[in-house]
Amino acid sequence: MTGTPILMASTSIGLIIVSVSIAMLLIRVIIGPTLPDRAAALDTLGINLIAMAGLLAIRLSTIHFNDVILLIAILTFIGTVALAKFLVKGVVIERNSR
């Protein structure tokens, strides 16, 4: 937790903005009228989590969050692909699809 005051202030502002964004996305996930709304909101929620992890890595001045950022990106991508496949085709891993 050793950073210059300007670093602390700017990461605080960034974290507050990302938190507001996550709260608004959670509203969309809860009241979203259709399932694709919820899927898109969850996808964007993952990207906001990446932003939050990056800001926390700057604030705590550590490099050990970089793997976590890449991991969240990969898991969000695969989760969204699986969810979209389920919404369109009804199965995630389809058989006899030649």
Distance of alpha carbon 73 from alpha carbon 97, whole angstroms: 28
The two structure tokens encoding residue 67 = 């793997």
Q: How far is the CB of 13 from another protein (least distance, A)?
A: 27
Number of residues engaging another protein in binding (CB under 8 A): 23
Binding of residue 96 to another protein (CB under 8 A):
yes
Which residue, 32 or 54, is less far from another protein as judged by CB?
Answer: 54
Residue type, 44: T
DSSP secondary structure string for all residues of 79-92: HHHHHHHHHHHS-S
Q: Which of residues 72-91 bind another protein (CB under 8 A)?
A: 74-75, 77-78, 81-82, 85, 88-91
Residues 29, 83 contacting (CB under 8 angstroms): no
Tell me how far apart the alpha carbons of residues 96 and 43 are, in angstroms, rounded to a whole number: 29
Say whether residue 71 binds another protein (CB under 8 A). yes
Binding site for another protein (CB under 8 A): 64, 67-68, 70-71, 74-75, 77-78, 81-82, 85, 88-98
